[in-house]
Amino acid sequence: MKDKNTHIEQLMERYFSSLATPAEIEELNAWLEENKAHLRQFLRQKNLYEAAHPAFPVDALTLRKGVQALRRRLHKSRRLSLWGRMIAAAAVVVLLVGGTWFLASRMLKPVGGQQLAETTVQDGRAVRLTLPSGEAIFFSGEEAREVTADSNTIARGNRAHLAYTSQEEAADSVVYHELSVPRGSDFFLELSDGTKIWMNAETSVRYPARFPRGERKIFVNGEAYLEVARDTAAPFTVVMAHNEVTVLGTAFNVNSYPEQAGDRVTLVSGRVSVYAGTNGERMLLQPGEQAVIPRTEGNIEKRKVDTRLYCSWKDGVLVFKNNTLEDMLALLARQYDVEFYWHDESLKTYPFTGELRRYDTIDSLLYMMELTGKMKFTVHGKEIIVARP
């Protein structure tokens, strides 16, 4: 018995420190489901770990008070199920909703690209590569698939990424491939020149399988984060539906979903030149600056921003700062491939500030949001109704 308890304590320690393997997490889940005494032991161990490893600075008194107040509220609630309490106990992210702090669940299961890809396979969705011939290659399994041209392998990929072999010399002619990522997924693409592209949900990129001499040009519809391989002899251009960005070698994010009023270009490092297709205006950006480019009339707006708000999605984190509930749910709709419907539209203006890990089930996030007492979600498959409680 003593050895069993020691083993469980070690499992919990590994879980709290984010070192547990999927098999260890599954074992810990099974142990927690056995009885409520195990859950109480888990909560005690978690409190001890948090005391020794504070998640927030000591001087963050307002935040700490908010978290403590919510924990008292959660433990006093008689309506929380065993699983509901475990979700609350495992919560690690704090959000501000209309002045009320709440925790976003991290549940006892791995998060990240691997889990997302498994969901993609189960739901019958897959990343699609369209070749010049019109042939489509779907990436939805663990085993690698090869892309060939003239009997030579030019790329290999699976459900999470696609990488082209290094380009040794310029192409004689431009042959375009198009990669499309569906709602509820994301994907990593490495081009033949070494440029790395993180593609967000519902995004497509059209690019040459091999770049010609003196020019590198790709076309983006949706959102992508790029780390461009430096080549002073061949500027790199990202073309959106109405605007474009030209760089030599840098890291930046482009957001160009068709339903938006304008495109956003956020520069992390290097330097980019932004071009507005409507009026021919050009603007240079420095690191930490963002250009908002209208698609109809108006000039480019340049502003200083926290780049994490616009680029952290590629690292599996969604960051919000005074975003409205409407903005937040619009983003979650694309990430989880669901649709939200408003029973009370006055809820749209509730402000949110904080961080969420991606790839948690949306049910967990909605559950924690309901604990604020400000809203209620009714789920019907992929349709979710937003109402007051």
Domain residue extents for the chain: 1-53, 71-111+316-389, 113-310
- Cβ-count burial 280-305 (b if 16+ within 10 Å, e if not): eeebebeeebbbbbbbeeeebebeeb
User: What's the gap between Cα 255 and its chain centre?
Assistant: 13
Mean pLDDT of 169-181: 91
pLDDT tens for each residue of 239-283: 998 899 999 789 999 999 988 889 999 999 999 999 998 889 999
In terms of Cβ atoms closer than 10 Å to its own Cβ (0-12, 13-18, 19+), residue 111 is middle
Q: Please give the pLDDT value at position 235.
A: 92
**Which CATH number, 3.30.750.210, 3.55.50.30, 3.40.50.300, 3.30.1300.10, labels domain 71-111+316-389?**
3.55.50.30
DSSP state of 168: -
Q: Please give the pLDDT value at position 62.
A: 44
Strand partners, 347: none
pLDDT tens for each residue of 301-324: 999 999 999 999 998 888 888 889
- Tokens 């500030």, residue located: 353
**Which CATH number, 1.10.10.2840, 2.40.37.10, 2.40.50.100, 2.60.120.1440, labels domain 113-310?**
2.60.120.1440
What token pair was written down for 341? Answer: 């419907």
Residues in the chain: 389
Instruction: Look up the pTM and report it.
Output: 0.68
Mean pLDDT of 104-114: 34
Spatial separation of the C-alpha atoms in residues 229 and 243, rounded to whole Å: 21
Give every CB contact of residue 36 below 8 A, 6+ residues apart in sequence.
82
Quickly list DSSP for 243-308: EEEEESS-EEEEEE-TTSSEEEEEEEES-EEEEETTT--EEEE-TTEEEEEESSSSPPEEEE--TH
